[in-house]
Amino acid sequence: MRASCMMAQRIWLAPAASLALAAAAFPSAAQDVCDGWRFIDAPTPGDLQILRAVSALSETDTWAVGEYAELHDGVRDWLTLTLRWDGNQWVHVPSPSPGLGFPGGTSASLWNVEAITPEEVWAGGTQYIIGRDGFPGQQYLAMRWDGSEWEVTPTPLTPEGGTGAYILNLDSLGPGRVWACGFRVEPANPQVATVGTVLAWDGSEWVELPPTPIVSIDEHRLREIEVFAPDHILGIGGHSGNGFGPADQPYVVRWDGSSWEVLDVIPSIGLQTWLRDMDALAPDDLWVVGEIVYGDRPSEPLFVHFDGETWQRFPAPSFDQGGVQIEVVTMVSSNDVWAAGTYTVERPPDEARPLLMHFDGAEWRQVFSDPAGPEFGWFRGLDDLGRCDVWAVGQRDISFTHTQRLLGEGCRADFNGDGSVNTLDVLAFLNAFASDDSGADFDGNGVVDSRDVLAFLNVWAAGC
């Protein structure tokens, strides 16, 4: 996950009232130039399986994680699932599933993965093991790939009096510098079911930071963190509001190295406002995604961008009589952002369909996945290797793994994606170049400079 510490002091200037509905804020860049999404078959080791996250290192080294189920003596055990893309196919790599053999079945699952190098990959989730009070229950699960095998790493157990702890997401600043977020039970406070948590890897074990602030009764959960520095962590998730129930009200917090601060920047809309994922290119360029549930009409996608000063909600396509759930987002550049999840075309019990959406610098729109892929299913994880190289993973037809990949350069000279190569493409590129947008890194060397202008003009002159 890319991050930068620039403008760290300006990030919290905007109050909730500034969450304006925006129309457009970025120079437009092409995305229709990609060749399209392609369904790729993946192993299905059990009778049920789900992929929840993906992390891409290179074209020949990508990891996807989740869980799968097997029947043992009439009992269904949920086991950790790790798949590795070798450039040609997905390969099922064995991974530990602590607690296997407990009466009533095992429950070990992975919710996120962070690939740092080929010899350092982290995965986090939950495991069913014995707690401090001697009773079995769900506890944090974190494991590390060292280049040859997966190994479980030490995580703190929940306080005595209750069990229930999950790692939902991971982020890193490089080798050995890894953080995880999620939630756990809080037995000491009878009015609070769970608290949001962040754990830091200290080189030998995971250490839990102080829990995030309690703002209501019942549930508090952190679903995603962006670590810009050890003393600058942004977290998003949900809390239960004024009543007992799911963590369906917006929750945004910031860690300054010693304490947490609650940020009132995304107001509650409708009955439920779910914040599910976040990605950032820098502290002044990030997206938060989720959905709004109204109750009397279909749910709507929620897309909120922060530019260092203002939080802006962007409009999104409606889904008629159905509903939508946005699970995940990945930023290729400021004007090349992908989100994924699921939608229905009618009110329940209509089955869920996989959903892909793209932001081109001007607007969000739905993009259709590979027609050869499944009609029903979910996307739960996204990651990118750059322009026109994005992975999406999840489940298909309820029971099977589902992976698709966006590929192809298409016509790179058509920079604004209008189907024609003309001077408007030059203007669009120069706007991106002047904004130091990563989409203007045309030669792909990681730096936006005059060589990118020459590379673009050479391609533009050649046409399509």
pLDDT digits (tens, 9 = 90+) for 86-113: 999 999 999 999 976 666 678 899 999 9
* Rounded Cα–Cα distance for residues 323 and 317 (Å): 11
pLDDT of residue 273: 95
- Residue 258 domain-assigned? yes
Does 195 have pLDDT greater than 90?
yes
Residue 366 near residue 317, CB atoms below 8 Å: yes
> Are residues 99 and 38 part of one domain?
yes
Does 431 have pLDDT greater than 70?
yes
pLDDT of residue 25: 42
Q: What length does the chain have? A: 464
pLDDT of residue 9: 28
> Are residues 133 and 71 part of one domain?
yes
> Among residues 337, 361, 342, which one has the least CA distance to residue 274?
342
**Which residue, chain included where needed, has tokens 């510098």?**
177
Would you place residue 459 in the very low, low, confident or very high pLDDT band (cuts 50, 70, 90)? confident
> Are residues 373 and 315 part of one domain?
yes
**Residues pairing with 85 in the sheet:** 62, 90
- CATH number reported for the structural domain that contains residue 451 in this entry: 1.10.1330
* Rounded Cα–Cα distance for residues 279 and 224 (Å): 9
- 235-286, pLDDT tens digit by residue? 999 999 866 678 899 999 999 999 999 999 999 998 999 999 999 999 999 9
Residue 358 near residue 31, CB atoms below 8 Å: yes
- The neighbour count for residue 58, using CB atoms within 10 Å, is 11
Contacts of 275 (CB under 8 A, 6+ apart): 223, 236, 237, 238, 250, 251, 252, 266, 288, 289, 290, 302
3-state secondary structure 348-395: CCCCCEEEEEEECCCCEEEECCCCCCCCCEEEEEEEEEECCEEEEEEE
> Are residues 241 and 110 part of one domain?
yes
pTM: 0.84
Residue 91 near residue 100, CB atoms below 8 Å: no
From 368, 390, 407, the end of a domain falls on: 407
> Are residues 359 and 344 part of one domain?
yes
> Are residues 339 and 232 part of one domain?
yes
Q: Which tokens belong to 444?
A: 């792909």
- Residue 26 domain-assigned? no
> Are residues 67 and 122 part of one domain?
yes
Amino acid at 356: L
Sheet holding 220-229, edge to edge: 220-229, 232-239, 249-255, 260-262
> Are residues 337 and 435 part of one domain?
no
> Among residues 356, 364, 349, which one has the least CA distance to residue 304?
364
- Cα torsion through 408, 366, 235, 438, rounded to 10: 40
Q: Which tokens belong to 415?
A: 């920079």
Q: Which tokens belong to 417?
A: 């994606």
Most trustworthy range by pLDDT among 67-76, 164-173, 402-411: 164-173
Q: How close are the terminal C-alpha atoms of the chain, in Å?
A: 33
Q: Which residue would you say has higher pLDDT here, 393 or 17?
A: 393
> Among residues 329, 109, 97, which one has the least CA distance to residue 226?
329
- CATH number reported for the structural domain that contains residue 284 in this entry: 2.130.10.10
Mean pLDDT over each residue of the chain, to the nearest integer: 87
- 324-345, pLDDT tens digit by residue? 999 999 999 999 999 999 998 7
Residue 402 near residue 353, CB atoms below 8 Å: no
* Cβ-based burial of 181 (10 A; exposed 0-12, middle 13-18, buried ≥19): buried
**Residues pairing with 286 in the sheet:** 280, 306
> Are residues 327 and 429 part of one domain?
no
pLDDT of residue 5: 33
How large a percentage of the chain has pLDDT more than 70? 88
> Among residues 221, 199, 220, 211, which one has the least CA distance to residue 259?
211
* Rounded Cα–Cα distance for residues 313 and 333 (Å): 18
According to DSSP, residue 17 is labeled G
Q: Which tokens belong to 398?
A: 């309820």
- Residue 19 domain-assigned? no
* Rounded Cα–Cα distance for residues 88 and 41 (Å): 11
* Rounded Cα–Cα distance for residues 338 and 379 (Å): 12
Residue 254 near residue 234, CB atoms below 8 Å: yes
For residue 202, the enclosing domain spans 34-407
Amino acid at 271: L
- Residue 16 domain-assigned? no
* Range in 6-20, 206-220, 363-377 the model is least confident about: 6-20
Does 321 have pLDDT greater than 60?
yes
- Residue 189 domain-assigned? yes
Q: Which residue would you say has higher pLDDT here, 147 or 17?
A: 147
* Rounded Cα–Cα distance for residues 83 and 126 (Å): 18
* Rounded Cα–Cα distance for residues 393 and 414 (Å): 29
Does 169 have pLDDT greater than 60?
yes
pLDDT of residue 174: 97
> Are residues 294 and 257 part of one domain?
yes
Does 444 have pLDDT greater than 80?
no
Does 369 have pLDDT greater than 60?
yes
- Residue 51 domain-assigned? yes
> Are residues 420 and 385 part of one domain?
no
- Residue 187 domain-assigned? yes
Radius of gyration of the chain (CA): 22
User: How many domains does the structure of the chain reveal?
Assistant: 2
* Rounded Cα–Cα distance for residues 287 and 2 (Å): 13
Residue 59 near residue 36, CB atoms below 8 Å: no
- Residue 15 domain-assigned? no
From 407, 427, 444, the end of a domain falls on: 407
* Range in 3-12, 284-293, 311-320 the model is least confident about: 3-12
From 382, 407, 432, the end of a domain falls on: 407
> Are residues 222 and 127 part of one domain?
yes
Residue 235 near residue 215, CB atoms below 8 Å: no
